[in-house]
Structure 1
Amino acid sequence: MADLKDQRHPQYMGDRQIVTDLLGTTQPSDRNLADLARLCIRYRGFQGARDIQADLLKVLAQWHLTEEQLYAKTREIHTTAKVFATHNDGRDDWA
C-alpha cells in the first residue's frame, strides 16, 4: 500500500484566516457558526490541512458544541436568515 501524501486545499489561505478569527471568538455570531459548519464540512476527510482540522475541533470545544449541535443551529439559522452575502466576483466558495 502506498503512503498517502497530505494535500494542500485550494482554499487553505483564506480558510486559515477564518479559523484563526474563530479561535479568538467567545460569543459566536450567526455568521461565525455558519463559517464553522461550512469549514467542518469542507475539511471532513480531507487528506491535509491538519492544523485547520485540529483548530476546528478546538473551536467546537470552546463554544461547547458537538458537530451535530452546530449543524442543527446552522440549519435553523439558514431557515430564518441570509448569512452569506452574495458575491458578484464569479467565484464559488464550495471547493
Structure 2
Amino acid sequence: MAQPQKDQQHPQWSSDRQIVNTLLSEAPTDYNLAELARLRLRYCSFPGARDIQADLEKVLQQWNLTDDALNAKTRQIHAAAQVYKGRGSKRDDWS
C-alpha cells in the first residue's frame, strides 16, 4: 500500500505569501495579473502550500476569471509590454 505523500514547504513560500496577501487586497492591474498567473503556475501541482493555493483560487474568483481567461490576458500583457521592467528584468523564477 502506498504511503500518502507528506505536504512540502515551498522554498519561496514566505515571499510568495506576501505577494498573495497583496493580490487579495488589490485590483487586477497588469502587474497583479502577471503575478497571479506566475504563482498559479508555480503552485498548480506543488504538494503543499495549501493556504497559498486556496488564496490564489480566491483571487481568481474575486477577479471573475478562469485559468484560461487569466492565461489569455497575461499572454496579451507580456506580448505588449515588459511587465517586470525595473523589478530586476531577469524575473524568470516560474518554478
Instruction: Return the TM-score normalized by structure 2.
Output: 0.90
**Displacement of 1:91:** 8.2
Matched, 1:71 2:74: no
Q: Deviations over 1:13-67 (max 9, x none)?
A: 0000000000001x21100000000000000010000000000000000000001
Residue 7 of structure 1: CA displacement? 0.4
One-letter amino acid of the counterpart of residue 82, structure 2: K
Letter of the 1:11 partner, please give it: Q
Which blocks of at least 5 consecutive residues in structure 2 are unaligned?
A: none
Corresponding residue for residue 20 of structure 2: 19
Distance 1:91 1:10, change over 3 A: farther
Q: TM-score, normalised by structure 1?
A: 0.90
Q: Which amino acid aligns with 2:70?
A: L
Question: Post-superposition shift, 1:84?
Answer: 1.0
Distance in 1 separating the partners of 2:57 and 2:39: 11
User: 1:28 is matched by which residue type in structure 2?
Assistant: P
For residues 68 and 92 of structure 2, what CA distance do their matches in structure 1 show? 25
**C-alpha displacement at 1:93, in angstroms?**
2.3
Count, aligned residues? 93
User: What is the aligned-residue RMSD (CA, Å)?
Assistant: 1.7
Q: Which runs of 4+ in 1 moved over 3 A?
A: none
Note the residue ranges of structure 1 that are not aligned, 5 or more in a row: none
Alignment match, 2:56 = 56
